[in-house]
Structures are given as structure tokens and as C-alpha cells.
Structure 1
Amino acid sequence: MAGRPRDPDLEQRLLATAWSLLTSNGYDALTLTQVAAQAGAHRTDVYRRWRSKVRLVADVLDTYLPPVPDPDTGTLHGDLRAFAQDLAGAWNEPWNDGLVGFLADLRGDGEAGRTFRALVSRRSQPLVDAIARAVRRGEIAEVPELPFVGNLLEGPLMHRRMFGGGPLTPEELDVVTWSVHRLLTGTSVKP
């Protein structure tokens, strides 16, 4: 005999509660017991769906992180700047405070890792599209190693967040964007 079917409303309530707790208190303070209590559910309701905090948070991020916009500014530099600006906004969100702990926990959980990598891939699509447009416009001759380009744009933002500095200033974000643009195009002329 099969068990009771899952209640999709309860699952959504648990995810919403976890998102609220994550954004207000951070990853490190989040517990599955706390999610259950605040959602008006039993601990077993949470543990039946997510065996660990890292799996719950991977699903929460997959559900609640908004998509990255894909503005077509007409230039590679403009598209890179728009993508970097959106990343900067995401890295400045308070829930990122516990991201180091989440990433450390993620390494030990293949299922949560797959969920998170799929999320990262979807959120990187605007960069993929910007590069494809730049190739079609003739701004760059070939498609570069896309994950590396994303790392070049996001790396300074992540570093600043994880090591306690403030957000990048607009001028610093321009330097990052210009540097990636220069690497991709080989030109030293600012757009």
C-alpha cells in the first residue's frame, strides 16, 4: 500500500518559510526544525521531503531566486555590464551571508549539487545569449569558454561578499566589465 500523497500546498509553505528564514537570518541560522515550526508543520514533514538543510536550501534557491534579466543593449559591453549589474544586485542580498557554509555543505551532497548547478546554468543563460549576439554582430570572432567568462564577471563580486568588503562601486563594476570585454574582443579601446 502506498503512503499518503504529498501535499503540494504544504511543500510550497515549507519552501516559502525556508526562503523567508534564509533571507532574514542567513544559511547558518536556518534549521529544518525551525522551518517546520514556523510553517506550522511537523519536523517529519520537512525531513520526508529534504534529508538535509543543504537540499532544502538548494530547492529554495531554485524556487525563489528570480531569473536574471536578458537585456539586449546592442553591444557586447552593454550586455556584459547589464549582466554584471544584475549579479552585483544578487550578491548584495543579505541571504548570501551564509553562502560559504552552503557551498561547503553542497560539496558533500550530489543531489543538492545537481539542483544548484542547474540553477546556475539557467541563471547564466543571459550571458550565453549576450555572447551569441556578440558573435552574430561580429564583435567577437569565436565563442569563448563561457563558464570562465561568467567566473571573470562574478568572481570579484563573490570575493568581495565572502571576505567582508562592501559591494563593488559602479566604477569598480565598470573596471570588471571593461576587463572582460577587453579579454573577449582583444581591443584596448573602451566602448
Structure 2
Amino acid sequence: MPGRPRDPDLEQRLLSTAWSMLTEHGYDALALAQVAAGAKAHRSDVYRRWPSKARLVTDVLAEFLPPVADADTGSLYSDLRAFVGDLAAAWSPAWNDGLLGLLADLRHDTDADATFRRMSALRSQPLVNAIARAVRRGEIAEVPDLPLVGNLLEGPLMHRRTFGHRPMTPDDLDVLAQSVHRFLTTTGVRT
């Protein structure tokens, strides 16, 4: 005999509550029982859907992180600047300081790690598209090592947020985009 079908309204209420708690109190303070109470649901409603905090938070991030726009500005530099600006918006809020806990928990939860990696790949697609456009326009001759380019753009954002506990300024983002642009257009990166 099949069980009751999932209630999409309840699931959305749980995700919304978890997002609110995550952004207000951070990852370390988030507890599945508190999410249930905040959503006026039973603890079993949360645990049935997400057996770990890492799984819940990866689904929450996939649902609520602001999207990274696929801006086709007509130039590689402007596309890079738009991409890094959207990443910065996601890394700027103070609640990101606690995401080291999530990253540590992902090492022990393969399902949550897989969900997180899928979300990261989707969020990186605008960069992949920008690089492909730059190759078609002749701004760069070869497709570079895309994970490296992504690391060059997002790494400083993560480092500033994680260790400096502050976001990058618009001037910092300009320098970051200019540096990666210069790297892509002058070094002959090989795949």
C-alpha cells in the first residue's frame, strides 16, 4: 500500500523556514527540529525529506540562492564582471560565514554533496557560456580550463567572506574581473 503523497506546500514551507533561519542565524545554529517548529510541522516531516542538515541546506540553497545571470554583454570582460558581480551578491551576506560547516558536512553525506555539486554546476553555466562566446568572437583562442577560471573568480570572494568576514567592494570586483580577463587573453591557457 503506497504512503501518503508528499505535500508540496508543506515542503515549500519547510524550505522557506530553513532559508529564513539559515540567513538569520547561520548554518551552525540551524537545527532540523527548529525548522519543523518554525514551519508548524512535525519533526518527522523534516526528517522524512532530509535525513541530515547538509541535505536540507543544499536543497535550500538550490531553491533560494539568487541566480547567476547569463549576461551576454558583447565582451569577455563585461561578461566576467557581470558573473563575478552575481557571485559576490551570493557571497556577501554575513550568513555565509557559517558555510564552512556545511562544506565539512558534505564530506560525510554523499547525497548532499552530489546535490551541492549539481547546484554549483548550474550556477557556473553562465561562465561556461561567456567563455564559449569569447571563443566565438575571437577574444580568446582556446577554451581554458574552466574549473580553474571559476576558481580564480569565486575563490577570492569565498576567501574574503570566510576569512575576512566581509564582502568585496565593487572596485575589488572590477580588479578581479580585470585580472581574470587579462589571464584569459594574454597567457594562452591550455586545456
TM-score, length-normalised on structure 1?
0.94
Structure 2 residue 87 is matched with structure 1 residue 120: no
Distance 1:25 1:110 in 2: 25
Tell me, what secondary structure is at the counterpart of 1:163? helix
Distance 1:105 1:50 in 2: 14
- Residue 143 of structure 1: aligned partner: 143
- Residue 58 of structure 1: aligned partner: 58
Q: For the Cα contact (< 8 Å) 2:97–2:162, is it kept in 1?
A: yes
Quote how far apart the aligned CAs of 1:85 are: 1.0
Q: Percent identity?
A: 72
Provide closer, same or farther for how the CA distance between residues 165 and 4 of structure 1 changes in structure 2, counting only shifts above 3 A: closer
Deviates more, 1:62-71 or 1:31-40: 62-71
Structure 1 residue runs of 4 or more that deviate by more than 3 Å after TM superposition: none
Distance 1:62 1:86 in 2: 15
Quote how far apart the aligned CAs of 1:3 are: 2.1
Instruction: Structure 1 unaligned segments of length 5 or more: list them.
Output: none
- Residue 83 of structure 1: aligned partner: 83
Instruction: Structure 2 unaligned segments of length 5 or more: list them.
Output: none
After superposition, what is the alpha-carbon deviation per residue over 1:115-171, rounded to whole angstroms, capped at 9, x for unaligned?
Answer: 111111111111011101100100000101111101000111100000034222222
- Residue 93 of structure 2: aligned partner: 93
After superposition, what is the alpha-carbon deviation per residue over 1:49-68, rounded to whole angstroms, capped at 9, x for unaligned?
Answer: 11110000011111111221
Q: For the Cα contact (< 8 Å) 2:67–2:86, is it kept in 1?
A: no
Count of residue correspondences = 187
2:149 maps to a residue whose letter is V
2:21 maps to a residue whose letter is L
After superposition, what is the alpha-carbon deviation per residue over 1:81-140, rounded to whole angstroms, capped at 9, x for unaligned?
Answer: 111111111110233121100111011111001111111111111101110110010000
Distance 2:35 2:72 in 1: 40
- Residue 176 of structure 2: aligned partner: 176
Distance 1:106 1:161 in 2: 19
Structure 2 residue 153 is matched with structure 1 residue 153: yes
How large is the Cα RMSD of the aligned pairs? 1.2
TM-score, length-normalised on structure 2?
0.94
Q: For the Cα contact (< 8 Å) 2:92–2:168, is it kept in 1?
A: no
Quote how far apart the aligned CAs of 1:180 are: 0.8
